[in-house]
Amino acid sequence: MNNPDQQILDYEIASIKFNRETTLFQQKPDYWKNQGWEFAEIKFPFLKIIFNGEIAIIVNCRNYDLYPPSVYYANPIDFTPLTYQEIRKLVKKTGRLILDDHPVTHLPFICMQGFWEYHTHTSHLNDLWQNYKQSMNIIYCVERAYSVIYE
């Protein structure tokens, strides 16, 4: 099981894919702002987004799309990772889509297809990213990370 910070995919290739997809965020700034999204950083390999001023996500696309993006919830001020308890206080709906300890990162994680944390978890090693990557992208992950908290 690799680490999401370990560069496996060629840097140039991953950077091109990241820039191509994150351009979609930059083309509609008013749309995202109206959703309550503030883009604090869009610089390969990271995307930092603050949702409604109360929670942030950090999207690591270092090896995208050989692997899916890695996403974790963070403090919107200093971008330090949030604890499981801090995240649960912000969740507006019930459900178990956020688990408390990924075996590699030891951070709370979104347990959904399309996320690095899901596809590298020992419970889902047979559910391959390659089966999904044609229909999932960076925007998909960001929207799902938002919906886990707010919808």
What is the 3-class SS of the chain, one letter each residue? CCCCCCCCCCHHHHHHHHHHHHHHHHHCHHHHHHCCEEEEEEECCEEEEEECCCEEEEEECCCCCCCCCEEEEECCCCCCECCHHHHHHHCCCCCCCEECCCCCCCCCEECCCCCHHHHCCCCCCCCCHHHCCCCCCHHHHHHHHHHHHHC
In a domain, 48, yes or no: yes
Is the CB of residue 125 less than 8 Å from the CB of residue 2? no
Report the chain's mean pLDDT, rounded to a whole number: 92
In a domain, 47, yes or no: yes
Q: By residue range, what is the domain housing residue 97?
A: 11-150
Give the confidence band of 39 by pLDDT, cuts at 50, 70, 90: very high
In a domain, 121, yes or no: yes
Domains in the chain, number: 1
pTM over 0.85: yes
Give the confidence band of 22 by pLDDT, cuts at 50, 70, 90: very high
Q: Give tens-digit pLDDT for 106-133.
A: 789 999 999 989 998 888 989 999 999 9
In a domain, 4, yes or no: no
In a domain, 6, yes or no: no
Q: Give tens-digit pLDDT for 66-95.
A: 999 999 999 999 999 999 999 988 887 766
Give the confidence band of 102 by pLDDT, cuts at 50, 70, 90: confident
In a domain, 15, yes or no: yes
In a domain, 1, yes or no: no
Q: Write down the pLDDT at residue 103.
A: 77
In a domain, 3, yes or no: no
Give the confidence band of 19 by pLDDT, cuts at 50, 70, 90: very high
